[in-house]
């Protein structure tokens, strides 16, 4: 019996051994590769090194937008409380406490830790006045537990404690924390992570925000240049892999597959921050003074077509309460390129330049201009009643005669006039490097009805953006050559090397002689005559010591209820060149339905010319432009 029993035991042992060996073989050989991969996956951590978004600066290097790296302190409340409970239970067992004592004290101990975190995190984040809330009812808890949460600066310990108690798997305790401070907090408190966070800064508030736009919470451009140049500004994130132990500690020597981050490129704009600030503030004042609905302005370098300033009213301040501002009617729109309007008499400069280029008139020709004209059944009148008057060509435009302009347009004919509209870029986008640019509105020649040619030459029946309007005058200020406007001057890559940008397209619109003659003739708008005979529509807005050229405009808005032109709602426009004798700057202005003048107290008449003069004066003074030589005034109305 003893030998038989020993034999059975031996057989059982061999069977068990065989099973174990087979199992070991199966685990190591069959499951081994998969298990190794799973273990590797559990140990390996893939880290992302976020690239920094490129900054945007003005032509002088002043920061308009840049990214500040910070951290968000985050936690998983449910997991944190579970792990704290396990830690406290283990510690109490080590301390020799009974099961009953552990159950009685564990909740209070976990709460002590949570309250300590809530009180200490604000202190670690920054200095500030510590304010204690009223102490909650005392209990047998320790002093640390009974102390109510504190507030340091803008960080509320009460809010942190509430988040630590939340029944969620993810909470952001504090945003926008200095990286070094965040690392200290994460090291000091179990379960707190310092997540990377990029903060896009706009140091000038609403100034230029219509150009810049903004980025979303996930760092992608939403509006303006931030959106249109997102690919340029956004870099390439870096990455690396490293193994960690079960408690989350990095295992030395396991760092691998390191790919460094490539930061975004730096964009230098043609914008002048000081000028942009002045123009934007001037527009807001003009809107308030005139009780207008809106105002727009664009300033171009006459010689290069570069955008020096581009502003509209109601621009949002990204540093303020965005939702509140949206409710108040402010927005991120760039109306200067996306909200076109009928230009009114400002558009007459195209007829003037075309007629001179074609040799059909000169500034001194005297025309017999009646008070009204009939074209294809449409009767057009001048803004003031008069009998047949002997206006010169300069007088037609200086006094802004609709009838005289249409007489010259008839000499041109529809097809030649259409050709000049094309040369000046009307009905097409300018190509500026900004999103949501409108091409405006220009009916195709084939679609013209009998009355179309009675409207277009006087600036009705088509729409321009403020940038397009400035571009028309830049073409003449630049000796008859139109240059596509540009707002990006340079792009500097992360390696410091300049990235070449495409050259703006150039179009010969009229000859240099025609451009010079036209610009000089449009000085007539600023002429003042005590008798009124030789006065232009912008008289009284001249700038002592300088020759200015430009054109006023008043365009009737369409009444949406009747579909006809309104007799009380107008776009008031002005486009001008300073100085006229040696063009340096082009300024285009639009006021939407002003009720009175744009100067303080509503002075300045129903014209945008005073706004032009304010901006031109600031520019000429800032740039120390030498005064213009004396020039003879034009005869506007013959005796």
For residue 171, give the CATH number of its domain.
3.90.1310.10
Q: Are residues 379 and 333 in the same domain?
A: yes
Task: Please tell me the number of Cα atoms within 13 Å of 72 on its side-chain side.
Answer: 13
Cα–Cα distances (Å) from 214 to 219, 226, 556, in that order, read 9, 6, 35
Region 30-58 average pLDDT? 71
Cα–Cα distances (Å) from 525 to 299, 538, 539, 632, in that order, read 20, 5, 6, 13
Of all residues in the chain, what percent carry a pLDDT higher than 70?
91
pLDDT at 11: 76
Residue 37 parent element (H or E):
helix 32-43
Angle between helices 402-412 and 414-423 in degrees, nearest 10: 100
Task: Say if 451 falls within a structural domain.
Answer: yes
Radius of gyration of the chain (CA): 37
Q: Are residues 324 and 246 in the same domain?
A: no
Residue scoring higher pLDDT (238 or 400): 400
Q: What is the largest CA-CA distance in the chain?
A: 150
Judge whether residue 573 has pLDDT over 60. Answer: yes
pLDDT band at 508 (very low <50, low <70, confident <90, very high): very high
Q: Are residues 137 and 217 in the same domain?
A: yes
CA–CA separation, 346 and 590 (whole Å): 11
Judge whether residue 40 has pLDDT over 70. Answer: no
Region 288-300 average pLDDT? 97
Q: Are residues 132 and 279 in the same domain?
A: no
Which tens digits make up the pLDDT trace of 519-552?
A: 999 999 999 998 889 999 999 999 999 999 999 9
Total domain count, the chain = 2
Which tens digits make up the pLDDT trace of 195-235?
A: 777 788 999 999 999 999 999 877 888 899 999 999 999 98
Task: Say if 263 falls within a structural domain.
Answer: yes
Supply the mean pLDDT for the chain. Answer: 88
pLDDT at 179: 84
Highest mean pLDDT among 104-113, 119-128, 353-362, 555-564: 353-362
183 CB-near residues (< 8 Å, 6+ apart): 71, 194
- State the catalytic residues: 345
Task: Say if 416 falls within a structural domain.
Answer: yes
CA–CA separation, 489 and 483 (whole Å): 14
pLDDT at 233: 95
Q: Are residues 463 and 536 in the same domain?
A: yes
Sign of the alpha-carbon dihedral angle for 37, 42, 44, 47 = positive
Region 506-517 average pLDDT? 98
pLDDT band at 31 (very low <50, low <70, confident <90, very high): low
pLDDT band at 115 (very low <50, low <70, confident <90, very high): very high
**Cα–Cα nearest to 283, from 307, 313, 260, 261:** 313
Q: Are residues 201 and 66 in the same domain?
A: yes
What is the separation, in whole angstroms, between the first and last Cα of the chain?
A: 150
pLDDT at 553: 96
pLDDT band at 442 (very low <50, low <70, confident <90, very high): very high
| DSSP state string for 355-420 | HHHTTS--TT-EEEE-SEEEETTEEEE-SS--SSEEEEHHHHHHTT-HHHHHHHHHHH-HHHHHHH
Which tens digits make up the pLDDT trace of 584-611?
A: 999 999 999 999 999 998 988 889 999 9
Which tens digits make up the pLDDT trace of 13-27?
A: 777 777 777 767 666
Q: Could you tell me whether strands 56-57 and 266-269 are parallel, antiparallel, or unpaired per DSSP bridges? A: parallel
Judge whether residue 507 has pLDDT over 90. Answer: yes
End position of a domain, from candidates 254, 269, 284: 269
Which tens digits make up the pLDDT trace of 119-140?
A: 988 888 874 222 333 333 333 3
Q: Are residues 116 and 254 in the same domain?
A: yes
SS3 sequence of 304-361: CCEEEEEEECCECCCCCCHHHHHHCCCECCCHHHHCCECCHHHHHHHHHHHHHHCCCC
Task: Say if 32 falls within a structural domain.
Answer: no
Backbone angles phi, psi at 297, to 5 degrees: -155, 145
End position of a domain, from candidates 241, 269, 297: 269
Residue 308: give the domain boundaries: 273-622
Judge whether residue 438 has pLDDT over 90. Answer: yes
3-class secondary structure, 52? coil
Give the CATH number, domain containing residue 423.
Answer: 3.40.710.10
Burial 366-392 (b: 16+ CB within 10 A, else e): ebebbeebebeeeebebeeebeebebb
Q: Are residues 189 and 64 in the same domain?
A: yes
Judge whether residue 342 has pLDDT over 50. Answer: yes
**Cα–Cα nearest to 594, from 325, 196, 286, 307:** 286
Global pTM reads 0.82
Let me know the angle formed at the C-alpha of 312 by 308 and 315, rounded to the nearest 5 degrees: 115
Q: Are residues 299 and 265 in the same domain?
A: no
End position of a domain, from candidates 269, 294, 313: 269
Task: Say if 11 falls within a structural domain.
Answer: no
Judge whether residue 29 has pLDDT over 50. Answer: yes
Whether 251 contacts 245, CB under 8 Å? yes
Task: Say if 588 falls within a structural domain.
Answer: yes
pLDDT at 476: 98
Backbone angles phi, psi at 193, to 5 degrees: -110, 150
pLDDT band at 155 (very low <50, low <70, confident <90, very high): confident
Q: Are residues 318 and 265 in the same domain?
A: no
pLDDT at 136: 35
Whether 150 contacts 130, CB under 8 Å? yes
Judge whether residue 620 has pLDDT over 50. Answer: yes
Q: Are residues 429 and 498 in the same domain?
A: yes
Task: Say if 639 falls within a structural domain.
Answer: no
Region 337-356 average pLDDT? 97
| DSSP assigned state of 30 | I
Cα–Cα distances (Å) from 395 to 347, 359, 368, 374, in that order, read 16, 18, 11, 21
Task: Say if 589 falls within a structural domain.
Answer: yes
Judge whether residue 417 has pLDDT over 90. Answer: yes
Q: Are residues 221 and 306 in the same domain?
A: no
Task: Please tell me the number of Cα atoms within 13 Å of 54 on its side-chain side.
Answer: 29
């Amino acid at each position: 019996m003893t030998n038989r029993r020993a034999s059975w035991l031996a057989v059982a042992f061999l069977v068990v051994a065989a099973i174990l060996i087979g199992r070991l073989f199966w685990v190591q050989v069959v499951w081994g590769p998969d298990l190794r991969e799973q273990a590797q996956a559990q140990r390996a951590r893939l880290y992302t090194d976020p690239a920094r978004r490129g900054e945007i600066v003005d032509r002088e290097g002043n920061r308009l937008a840049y990214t500040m790296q910070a951290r968000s302190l985050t936690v998983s409340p449910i997991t944190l409380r579970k792990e704290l409970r396990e830690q406290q239970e283990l510690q109490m067992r080590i301390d020799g406490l009974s099961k009953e004592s552990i159950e009685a004290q564990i909740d209070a101990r976990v709460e002590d830790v949570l309250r300590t975190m809530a009180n200490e995190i604000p202190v670690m984040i920054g200095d500030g006045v510590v304010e204690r809330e009223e102490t909650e009812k005392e209990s047998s808890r320790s002093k640390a537990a009974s102390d109510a949460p504190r507030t340091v600066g803008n960080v509320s310990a009460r809010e942190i404690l509430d988040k630590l108690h939340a029944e969620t798997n993810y909470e952001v305790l504090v945003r926008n924390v200095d990286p070094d401070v965040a690392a200290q907090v994460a090291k000091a408190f179990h379960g707190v992570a310092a997540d990377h966070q990029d903060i896009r800064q706009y140091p000038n508030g609403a100034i230029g925000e219509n150009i810049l736009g903004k980025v979303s919470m996930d760092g992608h451009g939403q509006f303006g240049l931030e959106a249109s140049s997102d690919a340029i500004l956004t870099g390439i994130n870096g990455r690396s892999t490293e193994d960690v132990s079960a408690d989350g500690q990095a295992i030395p020597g396991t760092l691998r597959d390191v790919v460094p981050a490539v930061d975004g490129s730096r964009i230098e704009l043609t914008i002048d921050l000081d000028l942009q600030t002045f123009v934007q503030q001037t527009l807001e004042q003009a809107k308030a003074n005139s009780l207008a609905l809106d105002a727009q302005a664009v300033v171009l370098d006459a010689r290069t077509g570069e955008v020096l300033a581009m502003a509209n009213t109601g621009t949002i301040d990204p540093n303020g309460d965005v939702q509140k501002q949206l409710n108040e009617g402010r927005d991120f729109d760039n109306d200067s390129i996306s909200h076109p309007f009928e230009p009114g008499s400002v558009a007459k400069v195209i007829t003037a330049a075309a007629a001179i280029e074609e040799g059909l008139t000169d500034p001194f020709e005297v025309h017999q201009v009646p008070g009204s004209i009939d074209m294809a059944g449409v009767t057009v009148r001048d803004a003031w009643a008069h009998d047949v008057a002997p206006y010169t060509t300069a007088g037609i435009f200086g006094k802004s005669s609709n009838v005289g302009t249409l007489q010259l347009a008839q000499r041109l004919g529809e097809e030649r006039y259409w050709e000049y509209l094309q040369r000046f870029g009307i009905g097409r986008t300018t190509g500026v490097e900004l999103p949501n640019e409108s091409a405006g509105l220009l009916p195709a020649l084939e679609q013209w009805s009998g009355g179309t040619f009675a409207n277009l030459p006087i600036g009705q029946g088509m729409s321009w953006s403020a940038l397009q309007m400035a571009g028309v005058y830049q073409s003449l200020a630049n000796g008859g050559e139109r240059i596509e406007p540009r707002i990006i001057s340079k792009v500097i890559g992360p390696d410091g090397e300049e990235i070449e940008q495409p050259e703006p397209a150039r179009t010969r619109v009229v000859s240099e002689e025609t451009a010079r003659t036209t610009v000089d003739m449009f000085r007539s708008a600023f002429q003042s005559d005590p008798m009124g005979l030789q006065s232009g529509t912008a008289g009284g807005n001249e700038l002592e010591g300088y020759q200015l050229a430009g054109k006023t405009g008043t365009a009737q808005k369409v009444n949406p209820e009747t579909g006809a032109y309104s007799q009380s709602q107008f776009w008031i426009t002005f486009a001008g060149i300073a100085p006229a004798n040696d063009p340096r700057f082009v300024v285009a202005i639009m006021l939407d339905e002003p009720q009175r003048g744009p100067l303080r107290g509503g002075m300045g008449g129903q014209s945008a010319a005073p706004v032009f003069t304010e901006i031109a004066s600031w520019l000429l003074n800032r740039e120390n432009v030498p005064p213009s030589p004396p020039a003879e005034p034009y005869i506007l109305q013959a005796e």
